[in-house]
């Protein structure tokens, strides 16, 4: 099996795994619209993120099916560096699962505040306020190395980065409003995407 085929299969596996993981938790904890007090509105930033995610998905499909189609954006990464793309992806999936287990029924497919919402401070939430978004960046940043293609990698990073910024801004606001001084104290001892030094 040639190296390019292996990386095409790895990218497909990463994307299918990511979608399957999201689908599993969406089914396990379906949105509770009747309990929703506040839900993140669509903004120009989220619309741009959605558009970039289409570019990321289409360029990924092109890489998987016919890589020459996006060969103009190929990056001269050595093979060993491309293999290193597995490390953030695997670490991201481990962090994603750990975060979901800690959140349990507090998790929602879309940022929202529900009447039953609690302030989770266990698992990765003990030191990071948004570990799921850290996991997203690790998982969706991995295609840059795996594909050695600027179009694929930067489209995923840009779309997820914009979406994450919008989500964090909304979530920090509603959680601060809901939990007041408890959330202020929590923010002081935790980092946004990485543990506070």
CATH for 89: 1.20.120.1630
Tell me, yes or no, whether 100 lies in a domain: yes
State the pTM of this model. 0.94
Whether 152 is in a domain gets the answer yes
Inside any domain, residue 111: yes
Q: Which domain holds residue 169?
A: 3-29+38-189
Q: Which of 13-22, 37-46, 53-62 has the lowest mean pLDDT?
A: 37-46
DSSP-based three-state secondary structure for 30: coil
Residue 155 falls inside a structural domain: yes
> Percentage of the chain surpassing pLDDT 70?
99
Question: Total domain count for the chain?
Answer: 1
Which is it for the CA torsion 18, 116, 134, 54, positive or negative? positive
Give the Cα separation of 117 and 113 in Å (integer).
6
Instruction: Give 18's Cβ-side CA count (13 Å radius).
Output: 24
- Characterise 34 by phi-psi region: left (phi > 0), alpha (psi -120 to 50), beta (else): alpha
In a domain? residue 169: yes
The token duo for 10 is: 């790895």
Structural domain includes residue 194:
no
Residue 1 confidence (pLDDT) above 80: no
């Amino acid at each position: 099996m040639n190296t390019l085929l292996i990386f095409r299969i790895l990218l497909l596996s990463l994307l299918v795994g990511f979608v399957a993981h999201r689908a599993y938790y969406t089914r396990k904890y379906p949105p509770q619209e009747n309990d929703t007090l506040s839900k993140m509105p669509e903004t120009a930033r989220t619309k741009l993120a959605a558009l970039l995610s289409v570019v990321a998905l289409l360029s990924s499909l092109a890489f998987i099916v016919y890589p020459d189609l996006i060969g103009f954006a190929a990056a001269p990464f050595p093979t060993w560096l491309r293999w290193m793309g597995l490390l953030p992806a695997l670490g991201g999936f481990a962090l994603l699962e750990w975060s979901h287990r800690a959140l349990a029924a507090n998790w929602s497919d879309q940022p929202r505040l529900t009447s039953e919402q609690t302030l989770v401070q266990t698992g990765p939430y003990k030191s990071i306020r948004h570990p799921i978004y850290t996991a997203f960046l690790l998982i969706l940043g991995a295609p840059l190395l795996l594909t050695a293609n600027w179009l694929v990698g930067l489209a995923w990073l840009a779309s997820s980065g914009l979406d994450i910024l919008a989500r964090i801004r909304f979530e920090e606001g509603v959680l601060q409003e809901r939990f007041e001084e408890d959330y202020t104290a929590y923010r002081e001892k935790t980092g946004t995407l990485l543990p506070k030094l």
